[in-house]
DNA sequence: CATGAATGAGAGTTCATTCAT
DNA sequence: GATGAATGAACTCTCATTCAT
């Protein structure tokens, strides 16, 4: 399974939210432009002026809605949050078959990672630079890990998973495994066919937890 | 097991190497100062002037030996290479007990990561920014993965590991798992006691490969 | 006669042209300031910061309109182009009296050279340093030469000029003669009274072409 | 005829002249290297360090013999002086045939210019930058002009040249004509075959002075 | 609200010149 | 004399941010 992005961080908008319709349009244009520019140039090389130009507004207008590059980046990230929330997953949480659950989680995570690969790389980059985003990333990972740890613990309790494993560390390790390989494949360009990747990750999870040996 | 840093990258010094004893001292002072400043301020916030000042030389002297921050960073990384080479590992490559081998590899990797944690984080940061270092990191990882894939294949052939696993993908996933958790623990500050961590990783490897089911 | 500056080189402004009235004022102030500073300090010793200060703007504002010293120098030169275009000359091109034509050309050239002497010297200096301006100067000279060569050829055909002369080389030589002496007088300070200079150059042209011997 | 370089300017060596044989060798190597580097890179882009390297000596050694780039440039120029002095010309000064005299002067000048074209361009460049060299160039030209003016005056007195010409201005103009066209051909690359050039210049001189009409 | 020009601190970089060895 | 490393003043250029219109 994979990192849980957690609930969308409430945008503590430092600047006022737009009140007019025109304001909404401008703000939205800026956020869209920022995503384009960030994905094209990376966070560091993206200039405020470029974002404004891409949005078709004057440079100064940027500051009507955002205080800094970090702030608009947060807005961009928030826009993508929903897509990363794996809504289908929740429905299956009641599912009794751990293998099906693992498959769904891995599949969902990899698909949504693929859809937003460029942005995920950006997020990684910014997390290396900015404490706020590092913390944000940590929180997402932690939520993920918590959920997986809970699942492992439940499986151990019902005698379906290796009882010797430390459930929290295992959850961390296995979540990290999926997150890392997604990064390698969709951002560094390592070529692994999708089905093959999902299948292997499922096997590794199942084996690691000894799911099939303790019926 | 964990990423193999591979052989030390030859320093393609663009500026001339020092020819006098004094020059050697200055160059070394700069590299040491750079490590200090990078670890303190991060790569981006480190200024050439600060590195020079920390080394006790004039700002211009930096350019006697290096062309850029990237170049001195490379020199810093190269200095640490040796420590990351796990020399003990090779000796045990002939070892017949896969569990012992895995334990040694994980243990070595985590220890050397811990010793150079700050620098590893820096390396990660720079790899997110600079293509040259991204590629360097990729190469290290690939060497690691190759070695692990070979081991997995051998174990499969001798009937001691799950034959259904794709050895290359499994190697990638499991190597990534170790690398990622090392980063979490030693750079993001997730608290996991060392022995506990090693033991759990060993278990996860052993389970994932189904080492104990095919005697 | 003398070098033809040719049509004004279109300003391939690399930075954006000003869009507001204020912007126009600032840009114009910079160009004026540049001329002042260049004429005072020469091209090499002129610093961007001095030009900005002379224009009464911040140093950084220079880069709103120009990318380099070369570029603002081009703008300065272009501003002076018009004055160097000898508009009166064209009107007399139909003139039938070659002596009057030559007198007009020499007189016009020397007068406009005198008016812009400092700038002409600068232009010469920069042409010695920068290929773009060397080429620009070459083009101007060539246009001049072409025109004079055409005149010589016509005079030869109508039997009014020495038929033994190579018209192109003669045009080059005589054009160069005027250009060079203008430089000597107005930039190196060789003292020759204006009328005397014009008269002598006219005589030399007339004699060199043998105008008065072939009626 | 053409600019007279005048007598070699005494090198007011600011640094001591070399006393040892080794010193002589080093100094000579520096001057030779300087010529190479100047001709390759131009005066402005030539760095002291490059000259020293080209000479195969340490950067600091430069200052054992020269105080500045200007000073070593003067040494380079002085080395070439002799070649520019047209020794053959003097022998023919007694020659009675003005046409032969003019031909010899133009021919000699153009040939020596061609031989040292790159250096002449350099000299021109430096004269645009440095007052000392501007003055040096002016003096050379003046000597040339004086000699030609004297010749013109003599021809006028003996009734063999146009008596209406101002001899000094004519000398300046015609000397400049040759100097300028030599520059165009050998430094700007305007293509004129040598014999054609000499012949045309001779004709222009002869015509301009009306040599053949006043027997 | 939008505009787009102005600001100016701050970093990188060069290289002539000095000087201890 | 020769070496080559150290110096540091000087200058360019960038761009986030402000602000008058």
**Largest Cα–Cα separation, chain A:** 65
Nearest nucleotide from residue B56 CA, by C1' atom: F6
Q: What percent of chain B has pLDDT over 70?
A: 87
Q: pLDDT band at D86, cuts 50/70/90?
A: low
Q: What fold is seen in the domain B85-213?
A: Tetracycline Repressor; domain 2 (1.10.357)
Give percent of chain D above pLDDT 70.
87
- With beta carbons less than 8 A apart as the criterion, state whether D84 and D5 touch: yes
Check B179 against A181: CB less than 8 A apart.
Answer: no
Q: Is D214 exposed, middle or buried (0-12, 13-18, 19+ CB in 10 A)?
A: middle
If 0-12 CB within 10 Å is exposed, 13-18 middle and 19+ buried, where does residue B140 land? buried
Domain with residues C21-81, CATH architecture: Orthogonal Bundle (1.10)
On strand E, nucleotides with any atom < 7 Å from a protein CB are 1-21
Q: Give the distance, in angstroms, between residue C10 CA and nucleotide F10 C1'.
A: 34
Any alpha helices (H) in chain A, and if so which ranges? 21-45, 48-55, 62-65, 69-81, 87-92, 98-115, 117-127, 131-157, 167-186, 194-209
> How much of chain C exceeds pLDDT 70, in percent?
87
Task: Give how far Cα A151 sits from Cα of A2, A109, A198, A209, Å.
Answer: 13, 17, 19, 11
Phi, psi for B160 (deg, rounded to 5): -105, 0
Q: Cα(C49)–Cα(C51) distance, rounded to whole angstroms?
A: 5
8 Å CB contact of A181 and B176: yes
Residue D14 above 70 pLDDT? no
DSSP C5: -
**Fold (CATH) for A86-213:** Tetracycline Repressor; domain 2 (1.10.357)
Q: Over 60: is that where the pLDDT of D92 sits?
A: no
Using CA atoms of D187, D188, D192, D194 in order, give the dihedral in degrees to the nearest 10. Answer: 0
Through-space separation of residue C63 CA and nucleotide E8 C1' in angstroms: 13
The per-residue pLDDT for range A49-84, each reduced to its tens digit, is 999 999 999 999 999 999 999 999 999 999 887 777
Rounded to an integer, the average pLDDT of D40-55 is 96
What is the C-alpha to C-alpha distance for residues B155 and B157, in angstroms, rounded to an integer? Answer: 5
User: B163 to chain A: which residues are within 8 Å by CB?
Assistant: none
Provide the percentage of residues in chain C whose pLDDT is more than 90. 80
For the segment B121-150, the average pLDDT, to the nearest whole number, is 92
Residue identified by tokens 């937890």 is A209
Both tokens assigned to C129: 């340093």
What is the average pLDDT across D188-200? 96
Q: Which two tokens stand for residue B177?
A: 């798992």
Higher pLDDT, A7 or D29: D29
pLDDT tens per residue across span C62-104: 999 999 999 999 999 998 887 776 555 545 555 678 999 999 9
Q: Which of A86-95, A110-119, B83-92, C178-187 shows the lowest per-residue confidence on average (mean pLDDT)?
A: A86-95
- Residue of B63, B52, B60 lying closest to B30 (CA atoms): B52
Q: How many contacts, defined by CB atoms under 8 Å, are there between C and D?
A: 107
Q: What is the mean pLDDT of residues B121-132?
A: 93
Residue B117 has pLDDT above 60, yes or no: yes
* CATH code 1.10.10.60 region(s) in chain C: 21-81
The whole-number Å distance from D127's CA to F13's C1' is 30
Give the pLDDT confidence score for residue B85 in this predicted structure.
66
Beta carbons within 8 Å of A35's beta carbon, 6+ residues apart: A76, A79, A119
Q: Report pLDDT for D89.
A: 53
pLDDT digits (tens, 9 = 90+) for C11-68: 445 677 999 999 999 999 999 999 999 999 999 999 999 999 999 999 999 999 999 9
- Which residues are CB-contacts of D58 (< 8 A; sequence separation ≥ 6)? D52
Across A91-95, B25-29, C159-163, least confident range: A91-95
* Residue positions counted in chain D: 215
Q: At what angle do helices A98-115 and A131-157 cross, to 10 degrees?
A: 160
Partners of chain D (3+ Cβ pairs below 8 A): C
**B2 has pLDDT over 90:** no
The confidence score (pLDDT) of residue D20 equals 86
> Where are the domain boundaries for CATH 1.10.357.10 in chain B?
85-213
Q: Which of A69, A131, A172, A189 to mutate to probe the B interface, most B CBs <10 Å?
A: A172
**Residue C64: CA atoms inside 13 Å, Cβ hemisphere, count?**
19
Helix (H/G/I), strand (E/B), else coil: C60: helix
- Residue B91's pLDDT band (cuts 50, 70, 90): low
List chains touching A (3+ CB pairs under 8 A).
B
Measured distance CA(D130)–CA(D119) in Å, rounded:
16
With a CB cutoff of 8 Å and minimum separation 6, the contacts of D192 are C169, C172, D181, D185
User: Distance between CA atoms of C81 and C143, rounded to whole angstroms?
Assistant: 14
Work out the pLDDT band at A10, boundaries 50, 70, 90.
very low
Residues A30 and A59: their CA atoms lie apart, in Å, by: 11
């Amino acid at each position: 399974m994979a990192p849980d992005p957690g609930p969308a961080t409430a945008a503590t908008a430092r600047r006022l939210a737009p009140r007019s319709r025109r304001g909404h349009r401008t703000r939205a244009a800026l956020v869209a432009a920022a995503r384009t520019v960030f994905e094209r140039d990376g966070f560091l090389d993206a200039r405020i002026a470029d974002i404004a130009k891409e949005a078709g507004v004057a440079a100064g207008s940027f500051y009507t809605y955002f205080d800094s590059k970090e702030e608009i980046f947060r807005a961009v990230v928030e826009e993508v949050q929903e897509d990363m929330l794996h809504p289908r997953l929740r429905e299956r949480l009641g599912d009794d078959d751990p293998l099906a659950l693992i498959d769904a989680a891995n599949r969902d995570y990899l698909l949504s990672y693929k859809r937003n690969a460029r942005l995920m790389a950006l997020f990684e980059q910014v997390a290396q630079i900015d404490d706020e985003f590092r913390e944000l990333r940590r929180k997402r990972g932690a939520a993920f890990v918590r959920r997986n740890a809970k699942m492992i613990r439940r499986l151990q309790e019902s005698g379906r998973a290796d009882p010797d494993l430390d459930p929290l560390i295992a959850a961390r390790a296995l979540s990290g495994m999926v997150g890392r390989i997604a990064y390698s494949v969709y951002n560094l360009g390592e070529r692994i066919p999708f089905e093959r990747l999902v299948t292997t990750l499922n096997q590794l999870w199942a084996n690691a937890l000894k799911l099939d040996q303790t019926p």
